[in-house]
Structure formats: structure tokens, C-alpha cells
A and B are shown apart, each in its own frame.
Chain A
Amino acid sequence: MENNINIKLKVWRQQDARDKGRFETFKLDNISTDSSFLEMMDILNEQLVNEGKEPIAFDHDCREGICGMCSMYINGRPHGPDDDITTCQLHMRKFKDGETITIEPWRSAGFPVIKDLIVDRTAFDKIIAAGGYVSVNTGGVPDANALPISKDAGDEAMDAASCIGCGACVAACKNGSAMLFVSAKVSQLSLLPQGKVEAARRAKNMVARMDELGFGNCTNTGACEVECPKGISLANISRLNREYLTAKIKD
């Protein structure tokens, strides 16, 4: 069984936000199919450093699919050719010997490129800061049975909370819309009693911030849901529409 592959990489290089950017191609031999995609990137960077060249800048942190840092658009898909995983969970067994792999940064007006494959995703933090929290009054611990939460609501809230804010939804969206992210961040709180108090204010503020930051309008194509590494459902977007519209109409 063949365990090593030779590949060609076509990688986006861009010095800084003002640079126009271009593709550079690299050859990489004897890559184990058991290695992860980011390990392959590390090998490439090591090779570049040894040649005295500048390594490729890319985002990564936990490398176990929960932090939401890694963000590459690989061969036409955010997080590459596998479903429900982040780039760090992608393995080289998904690629064939001799294949050319194209790696690009997220592309969206809301996510400007900082360097090479790294984009600025602080827009997401700004949306969270606009209302994606619960203002807790710390008192005594309440009785569990004083706060009844249905199994369905609890499950849906947890599913929404699995969003890691990686931005694949925006990267995949033909409209550069951040609705899947915002809807998950609204849903994880609005479904639970603790989040209900600020629900109307939260929906209004987060959507207003999202619009302000230049993200597009959702047209329900569903590309975000397909590419989301956590399988966040489009049902959340409908819930956000509901929350926002009722909050606005009540005003």
C-alpha cells in the first residue's frame, strides 16, 4: 500500500493588506497520507526556512477542531475536501499522488487578508461584543428545577453553541453573509431562559452590527450549512429572522 504521495501546492502569497498578492507553486515529496494537512504545511514551511525563504503565514491553534482558528480555502472548499471538519482535522489521505492543491485565504469584503492565508476576522468579535452575551447577576446557585428547559430547546441550544466562529460560512457564501454565524450566536442564548431577558436587544444589536460591518444579505442558498465544520443548521437563520422581526415590530 502506497503511504507516501508527491504533491504540488499552489499557495496564495500576499505581503500585507495593501499588496496585490499572487500564487506561488511549491513541490513537496514523500508526504505521508497519515499526516494532517497542517503537518504538511509545517513540512513545507520547514523546507522554506531551510532554503532561506519566508514561510507561509497561516492561522492555526488547537489543532483538534475546537478553537476555530484554522481557515484555508482548499481546492474550492472552505476547510478542504471533507465534510464536517476543520482544516486541522483534514488529512493527506484525502489527496491523490501528483495532485495540485490550491490553497487560498477566506475571500470576503468582511474578512480582509492580513498576510498570505491569514484574514482579519475581528468583525466576528465585534458582532459578539454587540450583544452575544448574557449579563449575569451572580447570586446564589438557583435550583435546577426552578429553571425548566425542555430537552428539545437544550439540544438545539447546544447544537448552535458548537459554532466555533471560524468564518467558513462567510467564505462559502456567494453573498459574503455572516447570517449562519450570527444566528448560531443568537440561538445558543435565546433558546434558554437565561438568554431570554436580553433576547430582543441582542438580536437587534448583533444584526445592526453585522450590517454595519459590510456583510451581505442571506439568500438561503445553504452553502454555509454544507461547509460549516460543525454542521450548524439553517434553522438557526430562520430563528434569527423571527427574533429580529418580532423585536423590531414590538418597538
Chain B
Amino acid sequence: MSSLLSSSIGKKLLMGLSGLFLMMFLLVHLAVNSLLLVPDGGDTFNAAAHFMATNPAIRIMEPLLGVGFLVHIVWGIVLTIQNRKARGNSRYASGNKTTGVTWASKNMLVLGLTILAFLVLHMAHFWVKMKVTGDPLLDHTIVSIAGVDTEVENAYRLVNATFSYLWIMIVYVVAGIGLALHLSHGFWSSLQSIGFSNELWRTRLNTVGQYYAWIVGLGFSLIALLQYFFYQG
């Protein structure tokens, strides 16, 4: 097993599997975020956030998600360093005029690091406040869950207040586009790396991957944008 994971294909397997896992997380995240757009003062979103924070399945997944991120980031950097070494020190003076190779596929590390930088900011905005330090904006509110009045943290107010700053909104929109580009190569690439592709499936996966990438990426951007323009005050 150790020789599998130290081989080039084994390392790519880890990149692919962790990538697929993170892509599933993004879908769940986007689904919950979309409730931010329900115009009921955030009650639906707060109920969903309460469910996510208390559900045992989600609580088990949380540390796993951290591991997923860590594996994907660390292996991504290790692989890129190895690849630069394999490429050698001399560059082509006449450049690279190969056509038909997507920009995103050649810049996955740059895009990944952009997402990582955003992730640090994003964690400071929400995760730290919700899980560690707390925040006066999170003061409890009562929402009716399945007819039962329940006291929950007012996560909506924190999100809403965060998106009232123009610079934060812009950072989130840009990060969403970066994420979309990363995923536009990552979706197909992860499945190719684990061996799930052939001539026919490549076209299918690429098409599905483009839809997935831009719906998820622009979805996050759009929510931040709408929150800034239409959900304040």
C-alpha cells in the first residue's frame, strides 16, 4: 500500500479522491447557502445552519473535511514541486504554442492557492466566529422548525452583516470565479486520475464538469452579490 501511495499514479489517486470529496462538500455548501436568498429574514437559513451544526453525520464529516482539504493542498504542492523538477531547468525559447489546452488546466496550483487564500479569510469570517470565539451578531433567535419553536444561533445576521462590506463581497465574487476555473479542469481530471474515463466518457465528464464548475462557482459569487445589493437593511 505504501508503494502505491508513493507512486505517481497513487499520488494522483489521492488528489482525485480528495478532489471528488471536496466537490461533494461544495454541493452541500451551495445548497445550504442558497437558503440565504429565501426572503424570510433568514429563518430558513438559520434552521438549516442549526441542522448542520447539530446533525451527528455532519459533525463526523467535519474533521474528515479538514483532512480532505489538507491532503488536497499538501499533495497538490508536493506534486507541483516534483513536476517542476521533472520539467528541468531549461525553458523553451520559442515558448509554448500548443493549441487546445485550457488555461485552467495549466494553472491549477495558482488557482488552488487563490482558493486557499480565500479559504483562510472565509474561515476567519465565519467558522472561527461560529465555532471558537462567538460573535454578538450570533445572539440566539427563535425559529419554528417543523412547527416547534427552537432557539438557534442567528447565523443569518452574521452572514448578512459580513456581506454588507463592498470589499468582502468583491473578494467572494472573485473567489467564486477562481473556484469555477479550478473545478472546470478538476472535475474531469479527478475522474481521469482514478481511472474512470475513456473516449466516450471524457466528453460526457467534460460537459457535466463545465456545468458543475460554473454553477457552483458562480452560484457562490451570485449569493454574495445579491446579499450585498438586495438583502441589506
User: Which A residues form the contact surface with B (CB < 8 A)?
Assistant: 10, 23, 73-77, 81, 102, 104, 107-110, 172-177, 179, 207-208, 210-211, 214-223, 226-227, 233-235, 237-246, 248-249
Contact B85 A226 (CB under 8 A): no
Given known A211-B8, A248-B4, contact A216–B82 (CB-CB < 8 A)? yes
| Whole-angstrom distance between the Cβ of B11 and the nearest chain A Cβ | 6
Interface size on B, residues (CB 8 A): 45
In angstroms, Cα B160 to Cα A112, docked, is: 58
Contact B101 A226 (CB under 8 A): yes
Please list 30 pairs of residues, one from A and one from B, whose beta carbons are closer than 8 Å in the complex, sorted by A's number: A73-B92, A76-B95, A76-B96, A76-B97, A77-B96, A107-B87, A108-B87, A109-B85, A109-B87, A179-B8, A207-B7, A207-B9, A216-B87, A217-B79, A217-B82, A219-B105, A219-B189, A220-B188, A220-B189, A221-B105, A223-B98, A226-B99, A234-B192, A235-B199, A238-B196, A238-B197, A242-B196, A244-B9, A248-B4, A248-B7
In angstroms, Cα B86 to Cα A109, docked, is: 5
Does B108 make an interface contact (CB < 8 A)? yes
| Whole-angstrom distance between the Cβ of A152 and the nearest chain B Cβ | 10
Contact B198 A76 (CB under 8 A): no
Partner of B83, one of A81, A172, A176, A243: A176
Contact B93 A23 (CB under 8 A): yes
Given known A23-B93, A220-B188, contact A177–B83 (CB-CB < 8 A)? yes
Contact A208 B100 (CB under 8 A): no
Contact B97 A241 (CB under 8 A): no
B210 surroundings in chain A (CB, below 8 A): none
Contact A238 B195 (CB under 8 A): yes
Given known A75-B94, A222-B105, contact A216–B86 (CB-CB < 8 A)? yes
Does B13 make an interface contact (CB < 8 A)? yes
Look across to chain B and name the residue whose beta carbon is closest to the beta carbon of A227: B98
A238 surroundings in chain B (CB, below 8 A): 192, 195-198, 202
Q: What's the count of A-B pairs with C-beta under 8 Å?
A: 150
Contact A76 B94 (CB under 8 A): yes
A237 surroundings in chain B (CB, below 8 A): 192
A235 surroundings in chain B (CB, below 8 A): 197-199, 202
Does B54 make an interface contact (CB < 8 A)? no
A77 surroundings in chain B (CB, below 8 A): 96-98
Does B131 make an interface contact (CB < 8 A)? no
In angstroms, Cα B99 to Cα A23, docked, is: 25
In angstroms, Cα B88 to Cα A227, docked, is: 19
Contact B87 A218 (CB under 8 A): no
Look across to chain B and name the residue whose beta carbon is closest to the beta carbon of A113: B90
In angstroms, Cα B98 to Cα A21, docked, is: 25
B166-187 CB contacts (< 8 Å) to partner A? 185
B73-118 CB contacts (< 8 Å) to partner A? 79, 82-83, 85-88, 90-102, 105-106, 108
